[in-house]
């Protein structure tokens, strides 16, 4: 017979806001054309895969990784042309970096601010660490509403502002001058999240030295390293030296360090794949534009947001036909009847378009 105290249970011990959360859901995708997670659909060239296989076979996985990841950081600085005087901090994907930043500023009453709709982890992580969260609605066609943003910043005095650039899930790149105004007006840190940098026409990395409160965050997941879970934060040593105190030791493993450094030596291969994805994005966007009842939004990412009547039924119809995309309907009022499709290979995109048209015809 158990002698445990029945009062020791999650509902009595955990914070109420944690109990109210829903875990981040990743649907099963076995046997499907997977176009829901903004992954690079292309494999590496065989010669590079063979080189990595040999390297991994000799990796000292019995040893802890280089705690400072010196070789990997050097390859990142070179690949992204980091401005002089700037440093990088590594994370297990960008999610860990978002959490680390939130932890650092989570004083009583501190506020994390972003736009909505945007990356859901900003709000979730604010909740994780006990921060206040404020989401500012985007304007028409998901553009930044600068006046509302500036008024909200003045009122809320956020310690931390996240701006996804391009934005997820909308795909658009916010007006550069508006982002600059936000950086200048913010009383705390502004983090420009460039997860989709390889597919976009602009970046704030060259501007890091201009703004004392600017940091730029990137992940290599969209570029072809989703399975490695590697992100980084770029900015001045003044900020990053403090944030390093919160980074858990050995957070980037031996295999991730080895393989990512090797891939960044071949950054041109990954960027060539990104250019191919951009061309496919143009083709896919044009094809969506001629399907009756579909409104596709412009994108500078590796996905396309589109609106269609009976979106959830369309999503289910696509699943029945072996195509998995992202159903955003019901997630935010501005995303009513919206679905998001990752740009895949030419064949995958073609199969998606056939299935979409077939589903719409069946629902008509």
The full set of domain ranges for the chain reads: 10-39+269-363, 58-265
What torsion, rounded to 10 degrees, do the Cα atoms 56, 57, 61, 63 define?
-100
Q: For the purposes of burial, counting CB atoms within 10 Å of the CB of 198, is it exposed (0-12), middle (13-18) or buried (19 or more)? A: buried
Residues contacting residue 277 through CB under 8 Å, at least 6 positions apart: 40, 41, 42, 199, 302, 343
Return the closest-CA partner of residue 302 out of 120, 40, 24: 40
pTM: 0.94
Rounded Cα distance between 364 and 359, Å, is: 9
DSSP state for residue 117 in the 8-state scheme: S
Mean predicted confidence (pLDDT) in 243-251? 95
Q: Which of these CATH numbers, 2.40.50.140, 3.20.20.10, 3.40.190.10, 3.40.640.10, describes 58-265?
A: 3.40.640.10
Q: Is the dihedral of CA 254, 255, 258, 264 positive or negative?
A: negative
Mean model confidence pLDDT for the chain: 95
- 219-238 residue pLDDT tens: 999 999 999 999 999 999 99
The confidence score (pLDDT) of residue 20 equals 84
- Range 264-285 average pLDDT: 97
pLDDT in tens, 320-364: 999 999 999 999 999 999 999 999 999 999 999 999 999 999 998
pLDDT at 2: 56
Residue 28 in this model has a pLDDT that exceeds 80:
no
Buried b (16+ CB within 10 A) or exposed e, 88-120: bbbbbbbbbbbbbbbebbbeeebbbbbbbbbbe
Task: Enumerate residues 6+ apart whose C-beta is below 8 A from 21.
Answer: 124, 127
**Structure confidence by residue, pLDDT tens digits, 187-199:** 999 999 999 999 9
Is the domain covering 10-39+269-363 a CATH 3.90.1150.10 domain?
yes
């Amino acid at each position: 017979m158990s002698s445990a105290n029945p009062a020791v249970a999650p509902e009595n011990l955990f914070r109420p806001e944690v109990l109210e959360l829903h875990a981040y859901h990743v649907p099963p995708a076995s046997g499907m054309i997977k176009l829901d997670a903004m992954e690079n659909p292309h494999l590496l060239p065989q010669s590079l895969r063979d080189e990595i296989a040999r390297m991994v076979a000799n990796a000292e996985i019995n040893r802890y990784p280089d705690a400072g990841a010196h070789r990997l950081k050097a390859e990142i600085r070179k690949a992204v042309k980091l401005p002089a005087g700037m440093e990088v901090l590594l994370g297990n994907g960008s999610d860990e970096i978002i959490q680390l930043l939130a932890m650092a500023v989570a004083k009583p009453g501190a506020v994390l601010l972003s736009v909505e709709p945007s990356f859901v982890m900003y709000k979730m992580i604010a909740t994780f660490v006990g921060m206040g969260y404020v989401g500012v609605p985007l304007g028409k066609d998901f553009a930044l509403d600068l006046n509302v943003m500036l008024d909200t910043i003045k009122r809320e005095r956020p310690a931390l502002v996240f701006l996804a650039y391009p934005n997820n899930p909308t795909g658009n790149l916010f007006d550069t001058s508006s982002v600059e105004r936000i950086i200048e007006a913010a009383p705390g840190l502004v983090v420009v999240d460039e997860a989709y940098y390889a597919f976009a026409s602009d970046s704030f990395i060259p501007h890091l030295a201009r703004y004392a409160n600017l940091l730029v965050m990137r992940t290599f997941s969209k570029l072809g390293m989703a399975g490695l879970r590697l992100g980084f934060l770029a900015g001045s040593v003044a900020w990053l030296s403090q944030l390093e105190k919160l980074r858990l030791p050995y957070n980037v493993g031996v295999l991730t360090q080895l393989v990512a450094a090797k891939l960044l030596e071949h950054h041109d291969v990954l960027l060539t794949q990104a250019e191919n994805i951009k061309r496919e994005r143009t083709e896919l966007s044009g094809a969506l534009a001629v399907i009756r009842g579909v409104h596709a939004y412009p994108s500078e990412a590796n996905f396309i947001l589109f609106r269609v009547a009976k979106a959830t039924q369309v999503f289910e119809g696509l699943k029945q036909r072996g195509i998995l995309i992202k159903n955003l309907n019901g997630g935010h009022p501005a995303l009513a009847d919206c679905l998001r499709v990752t740009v895949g290979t030419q064949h995958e995109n073609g199969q998606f378009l056939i299935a979409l048209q077939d589903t719409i015809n069946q629902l008509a």
